[in-house]
């Protein structure tokens, strides 16, 4: 094969390849559309669960998933969630960065409650994420008097020192938890719930 023949063959191959690529990118004849990407497996709660805005009879529960899905929440007095109340929450959509929240209403005042969160896939009914759990304590009602303790910290992980393994990692949260335990339930009568509430 002469040098001229080689050059002609290479140019023809480049032109043909560019035509195929251009058709695929521009949606021309012969182009096939790529299927929409969908996450495989079960939904995943990527940022845990959080609770807030707790009052004597309500609270907010928040989570974030890795895909669109329906938020499902259970709340119960019992950590094993026997007889838990179930709530169907919002759809976690891309417009909200797959985040969502549910307001728990009708809660008993001054009690520790447990909540469990799952997200159900929109593509496959019945396929849900692994559950994540949390707990909260509602505020005392207006007819109950109870001491309230505030625990505060600042400059978390400032300059990276807060996570030093040699000092026990982020020990500030353990100290905050212990402060809450020692200051609450000072009197046994204060820690005995008197209100009745059905979690069903």
Same domain, 133 and 63: yes
Both tokens assigned to 63: 């989570």
Closest CA to 54 of 134, 145, 156, 152: 134
CATH value at residue 119: 2.60.40.380
Q: Are strands 85-92 and 69-76 parallel, antiparallel or unpaired?
A: antiparallel
Q: Strands of 53-151 (E only): list them.
A: 58-65, 69-76, 85-92, 99-105, 112-121, 132-137
Q: What pLDDT is recorded for position 6?
A: 53
Q: Domain residues for 68?
A: 40-141
Residue 192 forms part of a structural domain: no
Torsional sign, CA 78, 79, 81, 87: positive
Cα dihedral value 19, 21, 23, 27, nearest 10? -170
Q: What is the pLDDT of residues 52-109, one digit of tens each?
A: 999 999 999 999 999 999 999 999 999 999 999 999 999 999 999 999 999 999 999 9
* Element containing residue 50 per DSSP (H, E): strand 45-52
Contacts of 36 (CB under 8 A, 6+ apart): none
pLDDT band at 143 (very low <50, low <70, confident <90, very high): confident
Cβ 69 vs Cβ 41: under 8 Å: no
pLDDT higher than 50, residue 198: no
Same domain, 86 and 179: no
Distances (CA, A) of 13 to 18, 20, 28, 95, 175: 9, 11, 19, 45, 70
The pTM of the full predicted model, rounded to 2 decimals, is: 0.63
Same domain, 45 and 132: yes
């Amino acid at each position: 094969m002469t040098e001229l023949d080689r050059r002609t063959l290479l140019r023809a191959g480049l032109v043909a390849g560019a035509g195929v690529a251009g058709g695929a990118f521009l949606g021309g004849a012969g182009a096939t559309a790529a299927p929409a990407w969908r996450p495989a497996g079960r939904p995943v709660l990527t940022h845990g669960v959080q609770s807030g805005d707790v009052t004597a009879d309500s609270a907010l529960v928040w989570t974030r998933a890795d895909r669109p899905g329906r938020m499902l929440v259970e709340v119960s007095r019992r950590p094993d969630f026997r007889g838990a109340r179930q709530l169907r929450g919002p759809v976690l959509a891309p417009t909200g960065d797959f985040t969502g929240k549910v307001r728990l209403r009708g809660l008993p005042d001054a009690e520790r409650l447990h909540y469990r969160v799952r997200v159900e896939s929109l593509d496959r009914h019945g396929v849900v994420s692994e559950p994540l759990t949390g707990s909260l304590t509602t505020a005392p009602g207006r007819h109950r008097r109870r001491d309230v303790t505030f625990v505060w910290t600042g400059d978390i992980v400032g300059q990276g020192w807060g996570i030093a393994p040699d000092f026990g990692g982020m020990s500030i949260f353990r100290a905050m938890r212990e402060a809450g335990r020692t200051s609450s339930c000072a009197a046994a009568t204060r820690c005995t719930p008197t209100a009745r509430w059905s979690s069903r």
